[in-house]
Structure 1
Amino acid sequence: MRPDSVTYRVPVNTHAGETGRPPFDAAAARRLREALGMTPAHVAYGIAAAFGIRIAPETVASWERGESSPTEAELTALAGALWCAPGELLGAPGTLREYRLALGLAPADLALRIGMDAGAYERLEAGGTWRGNDRQAAALAEVLRLPLPALLRFTGRDGKLAELLTSAATTRWQAYVRPVGKLVPLPKQQLQDVLQDLHGEYQRTMAATLHWGDGGSAEESGRAGRAFLDDIVAEFWARAGGQER
């Protein structure tokens, strides 16, 4: 079958930010295509021939202009046509689904590899609550190559971390080295340094707004303190070397 003999479906102009669409990197798609010396028509033909997904060259061009984005199945097919990994066509992953797509894994395949029921995994990816055990969490991190901040977020433990960090910043930080260490397996000395730093920064924030010369007030101090605590998990990762904002 030749490129000019393919029957195309009507292109669907779905914007990149629409729910259910991967975070597509339009510039990367165009760069990879041009590096192979291909036209949008060649790409559309390759997708149809190898994956049975019939799209118009105009749709490929629309993806590259950022006017629309491929579905998950189209993204996998596009990666195959461009001889690249799906992750090369995505922006930085932020959701569990995006981490999975970056590796070109189907939901059922990932669920099998981490020892979880496929339905339970799909509910998790759709925004459900993590119901897995520690072994499954470790497998999820390994398979998807998750950074530690992302693992805690996806398994619902970032809320507990926020509670511990808040207490460490507002009371005696020394008492929270071990509890935080159970959630975040970092060297003890590093945890001590980070918790002490957070505690000191919080205290300085509170004191600065109460300085007589600045005409501060208890209300201003409270607002500043709450703002710091609201962002304390991000502050922790920034100091611990695992930034995820």
Structure 2
Amino acid sequence: MSFVEDPSVLPPFEPARAGAIRGMLGVTLGQVAYAIAAYQGKPFPPALLEAWESGTVVPDDDEVKALAAALWCSPVDLVGEATTLAQCRTLAGLTMSRTAAELGMTRDRWEDAERRNRWRGTAAQTDALLRVLRPPPACFVAACGTSRQLKNLLREAVNGWWPNYVTAVAGIVPVEAAALRHALEQLHLYYQQLEGSVGASSWAAASAEAQAADFVERIDLYLWQQLRAMGNPPVHGAGPGTY
């Protein structure tokens, strides 16, 4: 894996993963700190590693790589889900030039897409993007600039007959329709349960109303939560003119 040509941009560090891997290896804070010091060529205090694992201090990308080397794992094992195109490229271990070639576009065009985190590729290029970089659905939707459109569809779906919205949502979210059907059904059922509590006691009704308002406001986040709970279902390709 090479990060020589272009700077790497890792997703946010996940403290719990670092502690879990160290525990699995059965090594102490001091032993890992010694390995990090050897990798960096300078002293490294065990207390700083403890702060990383507790989440009180966040390591930068170079420090994450040093920790990964000390734990005999990949930096990918220590970070969360990619949220930008640049992070997707980094996790795939590709340079900008290699990514552009894989997607069938010029390097300048990919660099612009990465810098702006905006995707405007053709259907064929989108298919390649999904296959090569495998962006998480939330990342892909954000890069396409369709987040607001998706939220509007989801709000209509939970308020109406949700099966009618599967096709439209599938045109935005690159996930198999079966998985989206299940996710939309669960969102609909949960929202309807909240709505059904309106006739309860005044306190329960007010609480349900507040929960319903929060649910609708962040409904796209609940969709991503449902899809992750299903183990991130396989993605499908782009339809003609979809993106």
1:105 and 1:174, CA in 2 relative to 1: closer, same or farther beyond 3 A? closer
State the alpha-carbon separation in 1 of the partners of residues 145 and 153 from structure 2.
14
Query: Counterpart of 1:92?
Result: 80
Cα offset, 1:166, TM superposition = 0.9
Alpha-carbon contact 2:83-2:136 (below 8 Å) kept: no
1:144 and 1:61, CA in 2 relative to 1: closer, same or farther beyond 3 A? farther
Matches within 5 A, 1:96-107: 96=84, 97-107=86-96
CA-based RMSD: 4.3
**Aligned with residue 223 of structure 2, among 236, 241, 245:** 236
Unaligned segments of structure 1, at least 5 residues:
1-19, 48-54
State the alpha-carbon separation in 2 of the partners of residues 31 and 129 from structure 1.
39
Cα offset, 1:227, TM superposition = 1.2
Deviation string 1:9-33 (CA, Å, 9 cap, x unpaired) is: xxxxxxxxxxx7764566569998x
1:129 and 1:150, CA in 2 relative to 1: closer, same or farther beyond 3 A? closer
Alpha-carbon contact 1:148-1:242 (below 8 Å) kept: no
1:143 and 1:219, CA in 2 relative to 1: closer, same or farther beyond 3 A? same
**Aligned with residue 200 of structure 1, among 178, 189, 193:** 189
Alpha-carbon contact 1:206-1:222 (below 8 Å) kept: yes
1:57 maps to a residue whose letter is K
Q: Which structure has the greater CA radius of gyration?
A: 1
Query: Counterpart of 1:58?
Result: 43
Higher relative contact order (CA 8 A, sep 6+): 2
1:76 and 1:113, CA in 2 relative to 1: closer, same or farther beyond 3 A? farther
**Aligned with residue 201 of structure 2, among 214, 221, 226:** 214
Cα offset, 1:199, TM superposition = 2.8
2:221 maps to a residue whose letter is A
Cα offset, 1:167, TM superposition = 0.9
**Aligned with residue 113 of structure 1, among 78, 87, 102:** 102
Aligned residues, how many? Answer: 210
> Does residue 1:186 correspond to 2:173, yes or no?
no
1:94 maps to a residue whose letter is A
State the alpha-carbon separation in 1 of the partners of residues 183 and 41 from structure 2.
54
TM-score if structure 1 supplies the norm length? 0.60
State the alpha-carbon separation in 2 of the partners of residues 181 and 201 from structure 1.
21
Alpha-carbon contact 2:194-2:209 (below 8 Å) kept: no
Alpha-carbon contact 2:150-2:220 (below 8 Å) kept: yes
Query: Counterpart of 1:142?
Result: 131
TM-score if structure 2 supplies the norm length? 0.60
Alpha-carbon contact 2:10-2:79 (below 8 Å) kept: no
Query: Counterpart of 1:125?
Result: 114
State the alpha-carbon separation in 2 of the partners of residues 78 and 86 from structure 1.
8
Alpha-carbon contact 1:86-1:103 (below 8 Å) kept: no
Identity over the aligned pairs, expressed in percent?
Answer: 26
1:91 maps to a residue whose letter is V
State the alpha-carbon separation in 2 of the partners of residues 60 and 108 from structure 1.
38
